[in-house]
Amino acid sequence: MKIISGCVFSILSVLCNRNTSNQNEHFTNPPGSCRCEIIGEIPVPAGYTRVAEERKSFGDWLRTIHLKKDPRIYLFNGRLRDDQSTHFAVLDIPVGDKDLQQCADKIMRLRAEYFFNQDNIDSICFTATDGTRLSFARWMKGDRYRLTGARLAVYNSGIIGGDKRQQLEEYLEVVFSYCGTISLNKETRAVNDLNNLKTGDIS
């Protein structure tokens, strides 16, 4: 039995220990054809099995993310995306109402949602491209960020607490505005051996 491990990047994909020249024969479902409720229900190719994940780990949580019943991709403004041919399923996660969640932001969104789901707000923290640490725990205590020259400056707004979900969305708008691929590069470690890839690794 061959082993398959999920990997999240701009779309949900899979990693297989099989020659890539034969890979397409396993993934023949048309885009948007998935009728599963969660990621973990997506069928693996014949002859493969999913690797076991530690309970409550990031990889384990990823498999519990719900998929939208509507298989079409919508933009942040509610418009249908012109090209509907590049995906298999759509994750049921927030995207906000501004054109901010792009590229690396998707990864930061998933990581933040994982820790939020675990009620571990202390771990929701990202590094802006100028090196400023953007902490959600500090955000909930009133910290906010403003651009001063070429760097972010931290100040206390006096706004403490509030609805955590609403505050998370507002915090992530700042994260998506000032963090990006450079930020992820600072906070991730390279996987030099492809045999060591795990569910949740990014590319």
**pLDDT 10s digits, 64-94:** 999 999 989 999 999 999 998 888 899 999 9
- What average pLDDT does range 102-106 have in this prediction? 90
pLDDT at 152 over 70: yes
Bigger pLDDT: 33 or 121? 121
The residue extents of the domains of the chain are 1-92, 93-195
What is the pLDDT, as a whole number, of residue 12? Answer: 38
pTM: 0.81
Which residues does 59 contact at the CB level (< 8 Å), separation at least 6? 5, 6, 53, 198, 199, 200
Q: What percentage of the chain reaches a pLDDT higher than 90?
A: 56
> Do the beta carbons of residue 40 and residue 49 sit within 8 Å?
no
